[in-house]
Structure 1
Amino acid sequence: MEKTDKIIVGISVGDINGIGIEIILKTFEDKRMLDFCTPVIFASNRLISFHKKNLKLNNSIHSIHSTDKITHGKINLVNIWKEEVKIEVGKSTGNGGKYAFKSLEAATKALKNNHVDILLTAPINKDTIQSEDFKFPGHTEYLQDNLDGKSLMILMTDELRVGLITGHIPVSKVSETITPELIQEKVEIMHKSLVEDFAISKPKIAILGLNPHCGDNGIIGSEDNEIVRPTITEIKKTGKMVFGPYAADGFFGSKTYKQFDGVLAMYHDQGLAPFKALSFGNGVNYTAGLNKVRTSPDHGTGFDIAGKNKANPDSFKEALFTSLHIYKNRNEYQELTKNKLPVK
């Protein structure tokens, strides 16, 4: 591999029957994108050729068999399987999940081995990808299991970053999962990420309440008074600017989120339903807290429009540029603090 300071982006293709390959190819239709990074797709020639022909796309692909053959200035494709695979565009199938995992596994391995600098993942089907090797609710949990650190899912745009204190768990389990220790852990991850990944020196973080109206002083639940408020008080003693709890409906409805650098929601839909209502199609899913940078678009496999040349690549492009920005910020922070004098 030639020497360069260009960032190498490993890309997993997601479900092979979905819109993943379409948004990847459309993102790099503009050759100027190659001035920003070197993309490396983990899939197969036959798969990419099928989708190119079906969608009438004309990307020039540089096919290689290992990451030591990566060429800058080109769209690289690492062939990780040679067999013929049945592709059923728009359908949820076992093959769709099987080969989505093969792509993700290879891209993650390359990331761990420093053959690529960052990971960009196209959408998977969380049902069909399940297997003996993948028993996770989603990308976030899989990557936490394979990389160093503790993860925090953050959905973000330029003006809104929403992290989840609990992730892909049933609503019935949320209340029993919320503990002071978990809240403190997620605040710590978000604070560290805002400082190191987003270059915000003194971030302000809002925490949403668990119950409607934050429990209305115990009338609609006691967790906010007994767990959330005391924990916020303790965190404030460390010097972090953490505020709340806020009732989620009024918080988003009044645009109070614009006053904060980050927001922590108690559970998945509490944070992501308003986020996607405000930003769907332009948002980015970022896995904070890990030793490597990973982003993805904020949408799913798009089976209903797969193969019809209707998929919008904007969220995937945003995920790409966000990952490049975070990677540079993180490296700059590490460079600035590596010789930091100890506090006496």
Structure 2
Amino acid sequence: MMKRAENIIVGISIGDLNGIGSEVVLKTFEDSRMLELCTPVIFANVKIMSFIKKNLDSTIILHGIDKLDQILPGKINIFNLWKEGVDLNLGTNDEKIGEYAIKSFTASTKALKDGLIDVLVTAPINKYNIQSEEFKFPGHTDYLNQELDGNALMMMVQGNLRVGLLTDHVPLNKVSSYLTEALITKKIETIKKSLIQDFSINKPKIAVLGLNPHCGDGGVIGNEDDSILKPTIEKIFNKGTLVFGPFAADGFFGSGQYEKYDAIIATYHDQGLIPFKTLSFGNGVNYTAGLNKIRTSPDHGTAYDIAGKGQADYNSFKEAVYLAIDIYRSRIQHSEISENPLKAKEK
């Protein structure tokens, strides 16, 4: 249950320790003003974080804790999730490091679930070295969907640009088989609810991109747009949701048409993420909408090629922290208005 809008506790899963995750985390909190906005708790080990800090010539002070009831505001808290030493080989793919990434992620997810942290920001993982008998998920989102109530939807956010996905980590040759009226309806309702409670947009306008080139050109280049997307969108629109489309994806972003909508829903991963990452200039955030808890992450991967060199740009991670805080506050406000509609009228 949400309890406050101040001193928000931001849990951080450390991700792949051989990548740039720990670097962007530490760089984000080198700015002491961040500690006025939130209290970070990094799920890792103070010894390994001190090693990484030394490698970066960072001067920040880390506060090690062994229990989550020892969290101190105004400090960069490191929850000692393990005691043993960890051998790092920065910039390399290591299954053992993948085990620590998942240990950090699952522990921080449990803390989020139990209300011991308020929001979760996840540093990048390697989707290959995290696989094991205990963890058989393609990434963060699928595990969160299992552990937290709701219907997870991958949404990329940068300012007023919000791009959600009908299908996310699905092979391209299987996308059309996933597009059903039930899925489209569920995803549109999820993104509408998120825009209202997470972004304080009372009557959101949503655009849906077509699957095929030119939305199928009347069936010449595929019939999914006319037979599935269009009638489903019309049905949802007639029930009061301001959803429009399908729109031909090729010119939608280049023409600036996206600026007319509060969110755009792409039918598959690259259709949405390529234009998003082109427009967001490294400041984008991956937000898991549709859950009862808040999780964000930067929009980049482990970047092994620059790991340990001090070259990583931390803006995306910092924006992920900001967005998690903003959404947490928006949900508090939305909850208060829902409980007392007169407050909305007074405003």
TM-score by length of 2: 0.96
Map of 1:97-108 to 2, 5 A cutoff?
97-108=98-109
Which stretch of the first structure deviates more once superposed, 308-317 or 4-13? 4-13
Cα offset, 1:340, TM superposition: 5.4
- The percentage of counterpart residues that share the same residue type is 58
Cα offset, 1:339, TM superposition: 4.4
Match of 1:199 in 2: 200
Question: Contact conserved, 1:104 with 1:121, CA < 8 A, in 2?
Answer: yes
SS at structure 2 position matched to 1:264: strand
Question: Contact conserved, 2:5 with 2:332, CA < 8 A, in 1?
Answer: no
SS at structure 2 position matched to 1:95: helix
SS at structure 2 position matched to 1:207: strand
Match of 2:335 in 1: 334
Q: Deviations over 1:69-110 (max 9, x none)?
A: 000010001000011111110001112211100110111111
Change (3 A) 1:4 1:205: closer
Match of 2:345 in 1: none
Report the Cα distance in structure 1 between the residues aligned to 2:30 and 2:134, rounded to whole angstroms: 34
Segments of structure 2 that go 5 or more residues without pairing to the other structure are 343-347
Which portions of structure 1, spanning 4 or more consecutive aligned residues, are displaced by more than 6 angstroms?
none
Map of 1:100-179 to 2, 5 A cutoff?
100-179=101-180
SS at structure 2 position matched to 1:288: strand
Cα offset, 1:133, TM superposition: 2.0
1:60 aligns with 2:61: yes
Question: Contact conserved, 1:86 with 1:95, CA < 8 A, in 2?
Answer: no
Match of 1:219 in 2: 220
Q: Deviations over 1:293-320 (max 9, x none)?
A: 0000000001010000000110001000
Match of 1:235 in 2: 236
Question: Contact conserved, 2:50 with 2:62, CA < 8 A, in 1?
Answer: no
Report the Cα distance in structure 1 between the residues aligned to 2:279 and 2:263, rounded to whole angstroms: 15
Match of 1:70 in 2: 71
Q: Deviations over 1:182-221 (max 9, x none)?
A: 0000000000000010000100000000101000000000
Report the Cα distance in structure 1 between the residues aligned to 2:5 and 2:183, rounded to whole angstroms: 41
Question: Contact conserved, 2:6 with 2:37, CA < 8 A, in 1?
Answer: no
Cα offset, 1:57, TM superposition: 1.0
SS at structure 1 position matched to 2:306: coil
Report the Cα distance in structure 1 between the residues aligned to 2:325 and 2:5, rounded to whole angstroms: 15
Cα offset, 1:280, TM superposition: 3.7
Report the Cα distance in structure 1 between the residues aligned to 2:75 and 2:45, rounded to whole angstroms: 16
Q: Count matched residues.
A: 339
Report the Cα distance in structure 2 between the residues aligned to 1:298 and 1:12, rounded to whole angstroms: 15
TM-score by length of 1: 0.97
Cα offset, 1:4, TM superposition: 9.4
